């Protein structure tokens, strides 16, 4: 009497297997319905915004007592839980979805399907991030610690909107190369613990280094705008020194950062790994 024995390996996938998995995931994402894509995008935007709130709070609490680098490290560590929620709970993040380029390069999805996914997910991310910023404003959390959290939020936004085009673009490239590498690592993982560890170090690195993430900025800049527009007494109580941020400032940051994010994720990670592992591969099927 034969005995059926199934062996389950907990070893991480090797890079070529991760590439094939990334391609399959890209096909699946591109074929999601409009509602599912948009709804999952809203969730991801909210998850990133929640991570940004925690990161701002930690930066405020630690800033006066710790060295700059250690403050950035702590902010990055707490921010990494945003990608953990996206990967483990399920959500669609524009920057991570730059990896869909691998399925497009293998001709398994059309250019229209790729752009449809990116546009819907970006819109959903924006809705989720801005809605979370509104909720944070209504909560009054920015007034905690004697208003220092609000002051930190304003300072973060002021720094971002003052970036010139080329630095903002370059910081966006570097950011999403790390974000997509984090997502790449989670695709090779088998357990929840593996996936959490895969998220921590690349995300911590990009935050600590001060790189620019378009979806995070859809929280960081709007929350400063809401505080300035809707709580002028609070801003006046901080002693001023915060030039007003308008919608044009938001766009001037988002345009170069988003372009940079696409270059960093779609070209430096997705296209490079496709060229190395999938170009001409029999594993890739034409539609």
The pLDDT, as a whole number, for residue 241 is 78
The pLDDT, as a whole number, for residue 282 is 46
Residue ranges in the chain whose pLDDT is less than 50? 1-6, 282-287
The pLDDT, as a whole number, for residue 213 is 98
Cα 212 to chain centroid distance, Å, stands at 9
Q: Which tokens go with 269?
A: 């990670």
Q: Where do the domains of the chain lie? A: 32-278
Whole-angstrom distance, CA of residue 97 vs CA of residue 191: 21
Is residue 44 a contact partner of residue 50, using CB atoms and an 8 Å limit? no
The pLDDT, as a whole number, for residue 64 is 56
Q: Which tokens go with 83?
A: 């990608």
Whole-angstrom distance, CA of residue 156 vs CA of residue 133: 14
| Extended strands (E) in the chain | none
Is residue 220 a contact partner of residue 153, using CB atoms and an 8 Å limit? yes
| Number of other residues whose CB lies within 10 A of the CB of residue 159 | 11
- Compute the half-sphere exposure of residue 111: CA atoms within 13 Å on the CB side of its CA: 0
Please name the fold of domain 32-278. Glycerol uptake facilitator protein (1.20.1080)
The pLDDT, as a whole number, for residue 68 is 80
């Amino acid at each position: 009497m034969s005995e059926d024995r199934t062996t389950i390996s907990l070893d991480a996938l090797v890079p070529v297997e991760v590439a094939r998995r990334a391609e399959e995931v890209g096909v699946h994402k591109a074929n999601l319905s409009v509602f599912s894509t948009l709804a999952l995008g809203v969730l991801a935007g909210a998850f990133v915004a929640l991570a940004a709130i925690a990161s701002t709070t930690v930066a405020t609490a630690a800033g006066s007592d710790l060295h700059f680098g250690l403050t950035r490290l702590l902010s990055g560590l707490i921010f990494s839980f945003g990608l953990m929620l996206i990967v483990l709970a399920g959500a669609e993040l524009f920057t991570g979805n730059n990896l869909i380029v691998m399925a497009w390069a293998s001709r398994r999805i059309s250019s229209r399907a790729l752009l449809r996914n990116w546009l819907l997910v970006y819109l959903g991310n924006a809705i989720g991030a801005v809605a979370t910023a509104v909720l944070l404003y209504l909560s009054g959390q920015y007034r905690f610690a004697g208003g220092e959290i609000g002051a930190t939020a304003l300072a973060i936004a002021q720094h971002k909107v003052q970036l010139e085009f080329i630095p903002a673009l370059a910081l966006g490239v570097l950011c999403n190369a790390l974000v997509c590498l984090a997502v790449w690592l989670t695709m090779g993982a088998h357990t929840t613990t593996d996936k959490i560890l895969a998220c921590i170090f690349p995300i911590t690195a990009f935050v600590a280094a001060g790189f620019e993430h378009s979806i995070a900025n859809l929280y960081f800049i709007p929350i400063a705008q809401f505080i300035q527009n809707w709580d002028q007494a609070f801003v006046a109580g901080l002693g001023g020194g915060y030039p007003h941020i308008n919608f044009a400032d938001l766009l001037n940051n988002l345009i170069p950062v988003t372009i940079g994010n696409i270059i960093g994720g779609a070209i430096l990670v997705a296209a490079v790994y496709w060229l190395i592992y999938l170009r001409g591969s029999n594993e890739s099927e034409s539609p």
